[in-house]
Amino acid sequence: MSIEKQLQSRSNSTCELCGSEEGLTVYTVAPASKESMKDSIYACKNCVEQIESPEKMEANHWRCLNDSMWSETPAVQVIAWRMLHRLKKEGWPQDLLDMLYLEEETLEWAKATGEDVDDSEKIIHVDSNGGILQAGDSVVLIKDLNVKGANFTAKRGDFMRNISLVHDNAEQIEGKVNGQHIVVLTKYVKKTK
């Protein structure tokens, strides 16, 4: 059975966040990069668009979290926690956050994207064009780079898939090039679609 069919069954063919029955799709919760039952939710396009584009957030849409935050599915709990943190300046989400309890492992997963950190304290990784990088993104090198200790040159145009961010340095990311795990400065990469 496909992951989508399993998620349809788990969610009764409704969005696991807002309950909509329209435009449903599989959404993999970051930092996971592969669809799996454990790491995915079944969500409507409206919810997914607002999760991925904070500037399109409609605060009242997310009042649905009052119900969905109690889901037994960790992936749904993670998204609920992240969206409530993103909206906490509205007032009402803080009350829900105060009631929400997550297991330690689920809380670590929820914090992986830094939604709970104030914008002034966030370490934001940006590529050479100013695009925001996130864990799991793919990037392309824009310059030949000599890799110290590995005796090879990472060539311009080489891809790094499923990158990870260096959490204490906004100018560095990690990933593999030619099978070698390397650290690269963000100014030498460009995010791919």
Contact 2/14 with Cβ under 8 angstroms? no
- Every domain of the chain and the residues it spans: 3-111, 139-191
- Residues 16-58 pLDDT 10s: 999 999 999 999 998 877 888 999 999 999 999 999 888 899 9
Identify the band that residue 122 occupies on the pLDDT scale cut at 50, 70 and 90. low
Q: Which two tokens stand for residue 79?
A: 């998204």
In sequence order, the β-bridge partners of residue 41 are 27
Q: Which of residues 149 and 112 earns the better pLDDT score?
A: 112
Q: By 3-state DSSP, what share of the chain in percent is helix, strand and coil, each rounded to 5?
A: 35, 20, 45
Report percent pLDDT > 90 for the chain. 63
Could you read off the pLDDT of 123-132 as tens digits, one per residue? 788 999 888 8
The hierarchical CATH code for the domain 139-191 is 2.30.30.40
CA-CA-CA-CA torsion sign (48, 51, 54, 59): positive
Query: CA dihedral in degrees (13, 18, 20, 22; nearest 10)?
Result: -90
